[in-house]
Each structure stands twice: as structure tokens, then as C-alpha cells.
A and B are shown apart, each in its own frame.
Chain A
Amino acid sequence: MKLTHTSRMSGLGSTRSVMRGAGRLLAASALALIATMAHAQDKTVTAVMHSGLRMLDPILSTAHITRDHGYMVYDLLVAVDADGKVQPQMASWEISDDKLVYTFTLRDGLVFHDAAPVTAEDAVASLKRWAARDGAAAFLMAVTDSIAASDDKTVVWTLKEPFPLLLDVVAKQSSVPAFIMPARVAATPADTAITDYVGSGPFVFVESEFQPGVKIVYDRFDAYKPREEAASGLAGGKVVEVDRVEWVSMPDSQTAMSALMNGEIDLIENAQIDLLPILETSPDVTVEVRDPLGYQGFARMNFKHPPFNDARIRKAAMMALGQEQVMATMIGNPDYYWLCGAIFGCGTPLGDETGADSLKAGGDKAKARQMLEEAGYDNTPVVIMQGTDIGAMGSVPVVVAADLREAGFNVDLQSMDWQTLVSRRSSMNPPAEGGWNIFTSFASGVEADTPLVHPILPSTGDTGWFGWAEDPELEAMRAAYLKAGSFDEQKAVAHQIQARVLDNVIFVPLGNYSFVQARSNKLTDMLPTAVPVFWNLKIAD
């Protein structure tokens, strides 16, 4: 009412003012419309990844989500193709006749996201920081004389003695790849997180839109120069066909499923197994296994404390366990799990199932009971730690506990959240004083397919992985693997390692399973890699 009165009173001037305002409004609306249309034309892929990203330093953390972030933002000197062969990526290489000098030459046109050229100095600094953290690189550094830049494009790696697996180590795809960063970033101490996220990879990290644990945004790096070869595995031309990639985390699997079916997101990297039947009904969604190697579940016993400081009792426990019951409980759908006794994975070049017959046959409780009696088991309680907040994996300790009870073990199954378990497993105290006897976990196929990278294999006692297995014989085999000059020699040593691991029960393979991804049919040409990569893929309008 008051506004109307004022308008009348102001007459023509007011009318002009209104017209001007309307004009401005129209112009603003047109601009907004254009902006909206431009945005609509952007090719954006929205993906729900297996975990929220919080930690941005792929050298400091072995977490897979941080590794995956690394592949978006950074590049590697050399990379592994779909056949597991090392191929040039940022650099080609030459090896001296005496196998002591590896010369890497950076290809032309490599630039960082801040437009600075990638130099050999950057590569040297990055390799040194990576080598200070990575377990496999530690073997390499033990025989390294120097890593130096001889000019802007040449890195010279000089060894004290031949190391046939040098390229395999530098090209390793998981869990800590040798990502190349600017020298100023790589100067950050290896135990301190980086705060500058400039890389030279095919995507640029959009720091202003980063919400830790919620959302991370990558824009296509227009100055990225892909290799000319077709993409293969993590090697070849990383041709980016989309403008932007957004990773969003959704704590509720059902919401993620509904969002995919509603067209709000394009990809669920790891769809919950029990929701797959619903997803499969959608004509707009494809459910598939991207990584054929998948994951291997395992049980780890504590070598420091009774009863598993006795190899005979460890063997009795392994005899009680069967993979079928574990996988059937955990995954349920046999399309997505398979029994596999090979510690380096079934179907891999080094895969070999020696010693796993009882595991694949469902275990033998009567025999386990007999072995337990022969070993003089005194009913010492076996503390099994069960992580309860890790989805289907939380069911594995329950099955292990049931099998062990049936074989005559006195089992104390203790439930806790995964982070408590992660903290408690580092305790070397006796189980009654905050320690433990068994926990279960899983390893990615690509980071457990050779003795070089397998994370649980090191058996050096207190300096080894949790459980602190001590086995000098196994360590000698690992050393022999590193020096093996041919694939046949490597395979022969890997066979010995397989037999030794199951004979001494360094860990118990509990079966393999797949991450199953669900994607919108608008997404095509996604590479079948263990690490989810977003180059090569296309999205329909």
C-alpha cells in the first residue's frame, strides 16, 4: 500500500526508474541464463568414491583414496600398462650395460599446473621424498649410490649393485606411487603433509572448492600433453574427455543408490553388495567389476604372544578356517567373490596356490582339533578383534571365531570401531593387557601381487607389520626375489615364498572379492584399472 502510494506520487521519474530496474533485471536474468547454459554444457562427472578424501598428500598416506587423488593431480615417470609391463610415461629410460646406471629423459611439453616446466630437478626431489616413505623404495635406496639431474631433462640413477626391479618399483601403482611434484613441494619433509597441491597430471585440484571428507573438485588441465599411445592400464595417453570431475562422499549407501538411479550422480565406485539387485533393475545403470584382481581378505595372528607364538597352533588355526564360509557371509553373491589360496592373487603372473588346499576345501575341524591337542594347547584365550563399522568386512571375524571355537579354541571375540582396532593392533602388550591375538583385514590385489610390494610379507619381527612375524628364512627368500634376474627366477622364488608363508602361517588368505561399481550408462570408455582413473572416459550429453 505504501509502495503504491509512493509510486503514484513520484510520477514519470518513478516509471523510468522502474523501466531501468526492469531492464537491469532482464539483463541479469539473461546473463544468469547464459551462465546456466554454459554450465549445463560443461561435461562434469560426479562420482561417489569408496571413501571421503581428507588427506591430500599421496606420499604421506597409504590410504587408497589419497592414492586415487594422486593419480588425478600428479604424473609418474614410468607407469604400468594393462599387461603389467612398465612403460614410459613422463620419461623414457636407458640402462647401462653393467645395469648400474638408469638414465631417465623427460619428454617435451611437460608443465605443472602453475605453468612452470617440469624439470629433472623436480623429478629428483620427488623421487627422494617418495623413497623416504615407501617400503619397496627402501630396498632400492639400500643399493642406490645417487639420484641426480644431469640437465633439465635428464635424471641419472646410479646403483651400487644391479637391482633388476628398479623400474617396477618406480612404476608401482599402489599404495604409494612415485608421483612427481615441483621441487619446492617435494622439499617438504617426508613425514610432514604438503600444503601446495600443484602437480603436472591431467587434472587440476580446485582447492577453493575442497570440502574435506565431503567434496573434491578437479578441472581438466588444458595444458596437459598426453602421450600419443592409446591409454592402457595406468600408462599411455591420458586424454581427458570431460571438463570437470567431482568426487562427493555419501555416508549412506542407499542415498547414493537413489541418487545414481535419479541421475544426480554418475558413478558409485564401490556399490554395496546387497543393493546391487536394485541397481541392476535400472535401465540407466550398469553394474560391473572394474578391477579383476579385486581384494584379498586375510587373518593375521600375533606372533609375539601365546598361543600363536607356536607355529603348530597357528597351523591348527589355519586348518580350522575355510574361505567359502567367510566369503559367503561377507559377500554372499558368488559372482563377486572367488576362493583363492595364492598370496599373490589368482591369475597373476606369480599366483600359485601351494599349501591352500584345506582353506579352499572349507577347513577340517577334526584335523584342526587333533593338531591342537598334539601341540599341547592349554586353552589360552584367543582375543579376536572385530571392527564393527567397516561394512561387510565386520562379519569376517565372526566367522573366524566360529570356526576356531568349533576346532576347540577358547575364543574371546571383542567388538570395537575400526579406528580403535587400528590403534590397538599396534600394541605389543599381551592380549590381557590391551594386546590381541587375531585381526582380519584385506589387501588390494595390485599392492599384493609381488613379494616386492606385498605389505604383510615383511617378517622382520618388531620392525615388520602388525603381528610382528619373525622368519629369517622368508626374509632370505624376499632378498633372493629382489636379485632374481629373470621372470622365471622370480616365479621360482615366489613359489617358495607362497609355500613358506602358508607353512609358517605368516597370514591366512580368506578368499578374494571384487569392488563392484555402478555407473550411469552416460559414462563410457572407463578404463578397467585397479585405480579408478578419469581420463579416457566419456560422458554423453
Chain B
Amino acid sequence: MPGYIIKRILAVIPVMVIVALIVFLILRLTPGDPAAIIAGDTATPDQIAQLRRAMGLDEPIYIQFVQWVGQLLRGDLGTSLLSGTSVNALIADRIWPTLNIALLTIVMSVLIAVPLGTLAAWRHGRLSDHIVMAISVAGFSVPAFVVGYVLIKIFAADLRWLPVQGYKAPTQDFLGFLRHAILPALTLTAAYVALTARMTRASLLNVLGEDYIRTAHAKGVGETKVLLRHGLRNAAVPILTVVGTGFAMLLSGVVVVESVFNIPGIGRLTIDAVMARDYPVIQGMILLTSGIYVFVNLIIDLSYSLFDPRIRY
């Protein structure tokens, strides 16, 4: 196992190098000029050119690339062209809201979706199965901003039970965090419940047709035990994959929900940086996102062995 982990981590290096190179080149080839954005709309071409020189943006691309790689090797993602803030500090500040809401979303999704999917598989072809599938289709089809606005309308604007927007860190005010995070997490949960419930149902249906399930029934094992111990456990691998990749997707930025609920997360950071052509922040965010995907995939792969003893590394 340790050898496998080291091998996987080492395999990340060429991936990240290729990502870094592609991101750097694509950004430099994309139209847009951070100096013009900083200078403002009424700045003259001379003022913008002066700023571009001062920021080093007029240097040849290969020199800018070498400088950036040099910084990366020191663990420094660079400095935001707009705010002058360190990209490391920006990401460290903005990742927590996204991470906390993603965790809450995943926990809620799993708690709701796995029982629903199990129920649908167990009652396959019956009314409860159809109801669960209808809910899944609805959850998947309704855009997040619509769900968000409806929740705001009901729980914040009309009932005034919860705030419309904002974020509180759980370390400072846990109840405040829950009050602010519950609506965005519910908004995201709608789609993830749909995805996870469908995957649970499909995977479980597959497993329930296996010989060992029939054997368990033949041995007189109870329905619930067959379903949960023999069925659900063996169906867990694809469910884990969906949950894991869903978590990575949430971390890589849930822009719409962060915008609708005014959450200062990394999704908004990325969009703002793209709109302002803040190259170091975009580069840092894409590298981070790539790293998150690789890391989450590694964790998912390793966790397979917990549920399926046949998988060994």
C-alpha cells in the first residue's frame, strides 16, 4: 500500500507540470490585459503601457514562465496582479467557505440519497421507486440558481428564518455557520442527491441480481440484512466514486451557488480572476483544482479496499 501511494503521488508531478504549462500558455494567448483593468476605463494608452511595463507584463512569455516556475518551486503561487495579495493567502482565505459548504452538502446528500436509492432498488418497479426516480430527475433538471432563489424566497424573504446571504466561519460561530450554510448546501444537495440516489439504485440493483444474494436469501438471512450488509456494501464502490468526484467538483468551485448566496469561496475567486485576467490567481486556482482532483481520486481508490476485500494495492 505505501509503495502504491508513493507511486501515485509521483505520477502527479508530470500531470501538474503539463497542466501548469498549458494553463500558462492558454492564459497568455487569451485576449485581455490586466494592466488595462487596473488602470481603469478612462486611462490613456500611455498610462496602461506604463503600468504594463511596471508589472513585467511586457516581458517575453518564456521569461514570465520561468519566473513563475521559479516561484512555484519555492511553494509560492505568486501575487495577485490586482490586489497585490499573495495567491497562497487568497486561496487559503477563500477555500474554507467552499470546503465547509461542500462537506455539509456531501454529508446531507449521502444521508438523504443512499437511503432513497436503497429504497428505490428494494422496491424496484413499484410506486416508491417511481417517486424516488421522479425526485431525482427533478433535482437534476432544475438549475441551482432556481432552487436557490426559491429557497431564499421561502425561508429568508417570507418566513425570515434564515439569512439571505453571507457566510460565517464555523470556528467562530458554529450556529451562525449553519444558519448561513444551510440554504446553499440544500441548493447543492438537490443535484447531488439526484445523482447519488440514481447511482445507489443502479448499483444496488446490479448487486441484488448476483448469486450470493440469492444464496443469502436461501440461507434464510433477513431482508434488511441482505439489503444492507450483502447488497449495499458490495454496491459501495461506484457510489463512492460518485460521492468522491462530486466532492471534487464542489471544491473546484460552485460558482452559481456562491454568487446567489454571496459566499466568498474559491468559485467566485476563480471567476473574478478570469474576468479580470488576474493570471497568477487563475494559474494558482487551476493548479489547486487539478491537485484536488488527483488527491480525491487517490483517496477514492484507496477507500475501495475498505469495501471490497478483493481490491489490494
Contacts and interface: CB of A to CB of B under 8 A. Distances in A.
Contacts of A251: 259, 262, 268, 271
A52 B272 contact: yes
Interface string A100-141: 000000000000000000000000000000000101000000
A211 B266 CA distance: 12
B259 A61 contact: no
B259 A443 contact: no
B160 to A, nearest CB: 7
B42 A252 contact: no
A212 B53 contact: no
Contacts of A463: 44-46
B48 A212 contact: no
B300 to A, nearest CB: 32
A262 B262 contact: no
A62 B44 CA distance: 10
Interface stretch (A162-170, A186-194, A359-367): A186-194
B163 A214 contact: no
B226 interface: no
A462 B38 CA distance: 21
B83 A212 contact: yes
A6 interface: no
A255 B37 contact: no
Interface in B148-164: 149, 152-153, 156-157, 160, 163-164
B44 A255 contact: no
Interface in B222-269: 259-262, 264, 268-269
B301 interface: no
A104 to B, nearest CB: 26
Nearest to B275: A419
B76 interface: no
A261 to B, nearest CB: 7
Contact of A262 (B46, B54, B85, B164): B164
A447 interface: yes
B51 A191 contact: yes
Interface string A240-276: 0000000010111011001101101000000000000
B40 A423 contact: no
A528 interface: no
Interface in B262-307: 262, 264, 268-269, 271-272, 275-277
Interface band, chain B:
35 or more
Contacts of A191: 50-51, 53-54
A422 B37 contact: yes
A419 B37 contact: yes
Interface residues on A, range: 35 or more
A405 interface: no
Nearest to B49: A426
A481 interface: no
Given A135-B44, A420-B32, A463-B44, A255 B152 contact: yes
B172 to A, nearest CB: 11
Most buried by B among A62, A192, A462: A62
Interface string A420-459: 1011101000000000000001010001000000010010
Given A54-B83, A60-B51, A191-B54, A258 B37 contact: no
Given A252-B259, A422-B36, A62 B54 contact: no
Contacts of B36: 419, 422-423, 426
Contacts of B264: 211, 214-215
A61 B39 contact: yes
A189 B53 CA distance: 13
B260 A252 contact: yes
B37 A262 contact: no
Q: Choose among A64, A215, A423 the residue with the greatest number of B CB atoms under 10 Å from its CB.
A: A423
A285 to B, nearest CB: 13
Nearest to A456: B42
Contact of A254 (B149, B166, B275, B277): B149
B42 A62 contact: yes
A466 interface: yes
A465 interface: yes
User: Dominant SS at the B interface?
Assistant: helix
Nearest to B152: A258
Given A248-B262, A251-B259, A423-B33, A465 B41 contact: no
B220 interface: no
B57 to A, nearest CB: 11
Contacts of A213: 82-83, 268-269, 272
A419 to B, nearest CB: 5
Interface in A354-385: none
B58 interface: no
Contacts of A211: 93-94, 264
Nearest to A195: B84
Contacts of B45: 426, 462-463, 465-466
A56 interface: yes
Contacts of B50: 191
A213 B53 CA distance: 24
Nearest to A254: B149
Contacts of B268: 213-214, 251
A207 B261 CA distance: 25
B100 interface: no
A304 to B, nearest CB: 12
Contacts of B41: 62-63, 422, 441
B165 A258 contact: yes
B43 interface: yes
A94 interface: no
Nearest to B163: A264
- Taking each of B39, B93, B160, B275, which has the highest tally of chain A beta carbons within 10 Å of its own beta carbon? B39
B239 to A, nearest CB: 33
A420 B31 contact: yes
Contacts of B54: 189, 191-192
A138 to B, nearest CB: 10
B141 interface: no
B38 A258 contact: no
B155 to A, nearest CB: 11
Contacts of A418: 275
A213 B89 CA distance: 14
Nearest to B93: A211
A412 interface: no
Given A189-B54, A212-B82, A463-B44, A423 B272 contact: no
Given A52-B272, A191-B51, A255-B262, 20 more contacts: A61-B40, A62-B39, A66-B40, A175-B42, A193-B84, A212-B85, A213-B272, A214-B264, A252-B259, A255-B164, A258-B157, A262-B164, A416-B31, A419-B275, A420-B31, A426-B36, A426-B45, A441-B41, A455-B42, A463-B44
Interface of B: 31-33, 36-48, 50-51, 53-54, 80, 82-85, 90, 93-94, 149, 152-153, 156-157, 160, 163-166, 259-262, 264, 268-269, 271-272, 275-277
14 contacts: A60-B39, A62-B43, A175-B42, A211-B94, A214-B268, A215-B264, A251-B259, A258-B153, A419-B276, A423-B32, A423-B277, A426-B36, A463-B44, A466-B45
Q: Which 9 A-B pairs have the closest CB atoms?
A: A62-B40, A212-B83, A455-B42, A191-B54, A54-B82, A63-B40, A423-B33, A214-B264, A420-B31
